[in-house]
Each structure stands twice: as structure tokens, then as C-alpha cells.
Structure 1
Amino acid sequence: MTTNTSPTTKKIVETAIKIGMILLLFVLCFYIVQPFIVPLVWSLIITVSIYPVYSRIVILFGGRQKLTAILIILTLLLIIAAPCFVLVGTIASNIEELVTKLSDGSLTIPLPTEKVAAWPIIGESLFKYWTLASTNLLGTLQQVAPQLKMLGKWLLTSSFSLTVSILQLVLAIIISGILLVNAEGGRLLAIAMGKRFVGERGEEFESLSTETIRGVATGILGVALIQSLLAGLGLVVADIPSAALLTLACFFLAVIQVGPTFIMLPVTIYVFSAHDTLFSLTFMAWAIFVSLIDNVLKPLLIGRGSRIPIVIIIIGVIGGMIFSGIIGLFVGPVVLALGYELFRAWVFEGE
């Protein structure tokens, strides 16, 4: 028995099979590339951000692109990745030393001064537990054992996540060196893809994306540098131990948009216990100023020179970070800027 299949039905079946195969191919490609998506996105951001510097150095080196890319990779690893590993290593060694001292009973906590009890709100409670910890550390630790267990789990998880992020950053820096050498080809590919989506405005949209990424990168790094330098100045004046390491930590926290508050808050508590009231209040005011100054500087630096309204950029930065973390800081404003331009093109079409 034979069945007659119309040409239209056969064409529909063949088309469905082709579409299914293409979708299957895309799904497989996604799962294969998925572990590298974050480093690849970071490498694109790094490449776009530092390409102007790369171009100038290539000219100075007589057109030696590979040599320039290698030098830039090594410099970035030295400036960004190496301090991160040093910071993680220092934290790990300090934790190990703390555990060792707790185990052999050699850890001692100095008694608090009477000024601690006079602090508003938390003074009396802090003085009580501080004194108890100074005289009976083991008993105090037993009282707060459940909280310490939760804190330990959080620290372990955070340390693992931080280590993975640093390794991803190292991989992204290495990939960015390869992309720098092939930057012109990548730019032409981006323009071609843009033209497939938006026609002749593809090159304009490529330029807009590049401009937005560089503006955000300049703003974030600039604000982080200013905040960390101001924080470091306060730490040096207050004669805080390991001021250089804490300044580096402030820079790192500012870059990842956590801010230096997590460093300045415990340091401020230490200053109140070690210095007189006037100096402590002055340092606290300085710490608050340093922690909040990014709210003023970010709009000024990120939106400088951009053709997109600053409100769009700031909403993109904040919304992108809430949606997808640190990478969203860059992806958010780019997506919103492109959407804004497409909306304008649709509204004012033909004018």
C-alpha cells in the first residue's frame, strides 16, 4: 500500500527537520561554550576598553602587534590578577594562623578601653562581649558557636567563589590578548552582524557599543582608584596596620561594586578604640565621605562624552548589575543604549 505525500507536506517536513537540526546545533554549541561564557564576555569588555592604549603602543613598537599584546597581557596580570591572588593568599594565611592560635590557646584579645562603653547604641553590649572575650575567649566562642558556624560556611563559599572569579579573570585577560591581535577582524565582524540586524546603521551601533563599554570601564576604574586612594590616605593618617593591603582591598571591592565600606567600617571601630574621640569622629566622617563619594563620581565619569543621556547609562549600570552581577555593569548600559537608539530610530523614522 502506498501513500501519496503532497510536495507541500514534504517541504514542511524537510523544513521542520532542518530547523530542528539547526536548533540542536545551537543548543550543543551553547552547552560546549557555557563554561567559557563569562571569561569570553570579560575578554570582550577588556579588549574594547584597552584597545586605544594598545593601538598607541603598537605604533611605538613599529607595528609589532603580538609583542604589544603579550606585554599588555603580562601588565594586566601583574596589575589586576597578581594582587588578587596575594590578597586571597594573605586572607587564607591569616585564617590559618587564627585557627592555629585558637587550637593551642595562644590567642589573646586585649581588654577594651572605657571609651568603648560610651559609644552610642552598641557601646555597652560591645564592651560586655569584648571584656568577656578578653577574659574567657573559649567560653565566648562557645556562646556564639552557631553564628560562627554559619559565618564559617559563608566565608568558605565566598572564598571559593572569589577564587573562581579570579581564575576566570586571568583566563579573560589571556583571551583578550588574542582578541587584541585580531581586533580589526573582530570589528568588521561586529559591523557585519550589526548590518544583518539593523541595516546600514550597523556600523553606528558597533561604534555606540564600543563607546558605552569604554565609558563604563573608565568610570568604574576611575572611581575605584579615587576611592581607594582616599581610603588609603585615611588609613595612613590613622596609622592603621597593613594600610597598603587594606587600600588594595578597597580598590578591589570598589571595582566589583561592593565598595570600601566593608573595610572602612571595622577600621573605624578600631580607630574609636585606639584614638581619642575627636580624631575618631573625624576619621568616621572621612570614612563615610569615601564610602559615598562614588554616588557623585560615577554619573560624572561614566557618562562623560557619551551621546546617550546619562540617565539611560546609569539605569543600565544599576539594572544590569542587579540582573547579572558585575558583567551586567557593562552589558546593561550597552543593551539599554542600543534599545534607546532603536526606539529613537522607530519614533523619528523619516524625519
Structure 2
Amino acid sequence: MLPTPTSERLLSHGLLDVLIRAGMIAVLAISCFEIFYPFLNLIVWSLILAVTLYPLQVRLRGGVLNSDGRAATLIVIVALGIVLVPTWLLGDAVVDSAERALAIAKSGSFRIPPPAESVAAWPLLGQRLHDFWLQAATDLTGLAQKHAPQLKEAGVALLGAVTSVGAGLLIFFMALIIAGIFMAYGEAGSRSAVQIASRISGPENGPKITALCTATIRAVAQGVVGIAFIQMLLVGVAFVVMGIPAAGLLALAVLLIGIMQLPATLITIPVIAFVIATEGVTVATIVFSIYVFIAGLADNVLKPLLLGRGVAVPMPVVLIGALGGMVTGGVIGLFIGPVVLAVGYQLFWRWVEDVPQEDRSRER
């Protein structure tokens, strides 16, 4: 039966109506995303913190504090204190190191010892290193003027890194406060998450996907970011107490390489060698060296305890997430990247392995 002109008009009118609705929905969705985008990192970071800390709130709520709001407030206050004190100590150490370097530069008393002749015999870069070192020892001002453009670029990059770290800390403090609000409404938020996942993937898969995302977030946050932060505190406090130059920057480097799944001994061993070379072998330096060396290996003990819980995530996924997050989102992306990529990795493999029963019977 051929379509009549009336049915064709109705069909075209219905198609036009659908296209108009779809276009209006698309415009609304794009507008909402553009408005929400500046706060995306903050909200994602807040959700990660809320999901990670929520089990602690459940324990506190079941004890003396018989309220979600009180438990969340206590967690936020304690967490801010735990983060602010080391941050202040490390920041003070960085400022003190910068003041010392500036004072030495103004006094003109900074001298670089000349290199040994054996340096020139080193393979590949020995002669170049010897000449550069010798010029720095004899004419540091001329060397600085010669490489002024490179030094300027390095200074700008360093200033940008410091600014990024400061912005990341500010976002972290704000995210921690927002996470406290999320935790205060944790049960309602959990139901909403299940409803959203069920609406997207069906009522059967919704609760499973929500549980998978929750377990992945907690596993990566505790086993990667948490371990790196604990290791930074252990090593950074020792650096500050020992008076290591640029102790704050070195502790921050321990945190960053810890998130990137690199060994902290890349920082601790050179610092130990520096302390022994400058201050000699004493009781203080021996105790410092032993403590810092053990603290640099603490991740080997903490990883089986924390990362083994929940979901096992391959280390390459965490490494790629850390590096990609740092490139796209700066310091805050270094924390968010591994968690988001790990969640995406788990969801992807769940989709791959979620083969319908009919397809499985056909494969057999």
C-alpha cells in the first residue's frame, strides 16, 4: 500500500518535531556542560574523596556521633588539620630555602669547587661536563649570562609549577569541604548513583556497576594516592627536621613520583649521599639515613595492605592515568587521572566480559 499525501505530511511533521526536540536537548546539554566545566575537576575530586572517606563516616556514625552531618564535619576538620600542618611545614621549608639561596647570591660568597681531572675521562659526556663545571667554578656570572634564555625559561617553568601546586592545594581544600557535604547525604547519593546507573545500563547491571566504580575508586585512592601521601609525610618530616635544602620541593617530588609508581629511592638515596658527604658520618646522619631509606621503601609494605583491597588495577593503567592527568589537568590531574582511568578500565572490561547467555551458548 502506497503512502498517501496525508500520511507523508504526518511523517515529515513527526520527523521535524523529533529533530527540533533533539536539537533543543543538545543545545541545553551543551550549555549545561559549558557552565559546569570550570567546576568539573573540583566536583570529580570531591566525589573521589567522598567515596574514599565514606566507610570511615559509617564507623563514626555508628559510634559516639549519631549523625551523618556530625561525622562528616569531624572527618573534614581532622583531614584539614592533617593536610594543613605538613603543608605549612613544607611550605615554610621551601621559603626558608629560597631565602638562603637569595642571601648567598646577594653576598657573592657562593662558590662552586672545580672538577677533578678524572671527570674529563668519563665516557660520552665527560669532557663537556668537565668544561661546563670548570666554567661554572671560574666564571659563574659569565656562564649565567651565556645561558640567560634557558635560565629564564626554567624559572618560568618553575614558577608555573609552584603556581600549579598552590592552585591544586586550594582545590583540594575546597574539594574536601564539598566532599563533607556529599558524605552528609551519603545514603541519598548512593541511591541516586544506583538509579542513574540503572537508567543507563538496566536495572540488573546498575547496582553492580555502582559497586564496581565504588570499589575501584577506593582501591586506587587508598593504594596509590594514599600511599604516596603517607610516604611524602614520612620522608618530608625527616627532610625538614634535618634541614635539607629545598626540603619541601623534595617531599613534593616524593609525592609525585609515588603517584607515578616510581620508587621513592630516586629521591631518598641522593639525599642520603648528600647528607653524609656534607656532614660526615655521625649518629644523627646514620639515624637519618636509616629512617629515610626505610621510609622510601614503605610503599612495598603499604601496597599489599591497601592496594590489594577492592579491585586489582594494573600498574600501567595507573601510570598512564597519572601522566595523562598531569598533562591535561596539572597537579590536580595527577590525582584524578589514575582514579578516572581505572574506573574506565574496569567498566570497559566488564562490558567486554558481559556476554549475553545466548552468545555464550553459541560460542560453545
TM-score, reference length from structure 1: 0.77
Q: Which of residues 13, 18, 38 is equivalent to 2:16?
A: 13
CA offsets 1:276-311 (integer angstroms, 9 cap, x no match): 79xx9xx999989976885x66874565133x5x4x
Cα separation, partners in 2 of 1:301 and 1:143, compared to 1, 3 Å: farther
Contact kept, 8 Å, 1:316 with 1:334, in 2: the verdict is no
In structure 1, C-alpha distance between the alignment counterparts of 2:279 and 2:128, rounded to whole Å: 20
SS at match of 1:346: coil
1:149 aligned partner:
152
Q: Which of residues 187, 204, 208 is equivalent to 1:204?
A: 208
Is the aligned partner of 1:108 residue 2:110? yes
In structure 2, C-alpha distance between the alignment counterparts of 1:320 and 1:136, rounded to whole Å: 44
Contact kept, 8 Å, 1:232 with 1:246, in 2: the verdict is no
2:195 aligned partner:
192
Match for 1:314: what amino acid? M
> Deviation at 1:166?
1.6
Cα separation, partners in 2 of 1:44 and 1:300, compared to 1, 3 Å: same
Is the aligned partner of 1:44 residue 2:44? no
Match for 1:346: what amino acid? V
2:34 aligned partner:
31
1:217 aligned partner:
221
Matches within 5 A, 1:75-114: 75-81=78-84, 83-84=86-87, 87-88=90-91, 90-92=93-95, 94-95=97-98, 98-99=101-102, 101-102=104-105, 104-109=106-111, 111=113
Cα separation, partners in 2 of 1:168 and 1:62, compared to 1, 3 Å: closer
Aligned residues: 340
Contact kept, 8 Å, 1:317 with 1:329, in 2: the verdict is yes
Contact kept, 8 Å, 1:227 with 1:251, in 2: the verdict is yes
> Deviation at 1:197?
2.2
Contact kept, 8 Å, 1:227 with 1:293, in 2: the verdict is yes
Cα separation, partners in 2 of 1:145 and 1:265, compared to 1, 3 Å: farther
Contact kept, 8 Å, 1:69 with 1:180, in 2: the verdict is yes
Cα separation, partners in 2 of 1:92 and 1:262, compared to 1, 3 Å: farther
CA offsets 1:31-74 (integer angstroms, 9 cap, x no match): 11111100111111100111111111122233122222222212
In structure 1, C-alpha distance between the alignment counterparts of 2:230 and 2:24, rounded to whole Å: 52
Once the two structures are overlaid, the 10-residue window that deviates more, 24-33 or 80-89, is 80-89
1:304 aligned partner:
308
Contact kept, 8 Å, 1:224 with 1:251, in 2: the verdict is yes
Cα separation, partners in 2 of 1:21 and 1:302, compared to 1, 3 Å: farther
CA offsets 1:173-198 (integer angstroms, 9 cap, x no match): 11101101011111001111111122
Is the aligned partner of 1:343 residue 2:352? yes
Once the two structures are overlaid, the 10-residue window that deviates more, 89-98 or 26-35, is 89-98
> Deviation at 1:266?
5.4
Match for 2:159: what amino acid? L
CA offsets 1:237-295 (integer angstroms, 9 cap, x no match): 9x663697577435533554385467447525634742679xx9xx999989976885x
RMSD, matched Cα:
4.3
Q: Which of residues 314, 329, 332 is equivalent to 2:338?
A: 329
Match for 1:76: what amino acid? A
CA offsets 1:211-258 (integer angstroms, 9 cap, x no match): 111111121145325644775698699x66369757743553355438
> Deviation at 1:141?
2.2
Contact kept, 8 Å, 2:216 with 2:342, in 1: the verdict is yes
Once the two structures are overlaid, the 10-residue window that deviates more, 76-85 or 24-33, is 76-85
> Deviation at 1:137?
3.6
Instruction: List alignment gaps of at least 5 residues for structure 1.
Output: none
TM-score, reference length from structure 2: 0.75
Contact kept, 8 Å, 1:320 with 1:332, in 2: the verdict is yes
CA offsets 1:116-147 (integer angstroms, 9 cap, x no match): 96996678866765565455442332233232
In structure 2, C-alpha distance between the alignment counterparts of 1:91 and 1:258, rounded to whole Å: 25
2:331 aligned partner:
none
Cα separation, partners in 2 of 1:328 and 1:20, compared to 1, 3 Å: same
In structure 2, C-alpha distance between the alignment counterparts of 1:131 and 1:322, rounded to whole Å: 37
> Deviation at 1:155?
0.7
> Deviation at 1:319?
3.5
Once the two structures are overlaid, the 10-residue window that deviates more, 248-257 or 26-35, is 248-257
1:270 aligned partner:
274
1:62 aligned partner:
65
Identity in percent? 29
Match for 1:191: what amino acid? V
Cα separation, partners in 2 of 1:330 and 1:198, compared to 1, 3 Å: same
Instruction: List alignment gaps of at least 5 residues for structure 2.
Output: 327-333
> Deviation at 1:160?
1.9
In structure 1, C-alpha distance between the alignment counterparts of 2:90 and 2:102, rounded to whole Å: 18
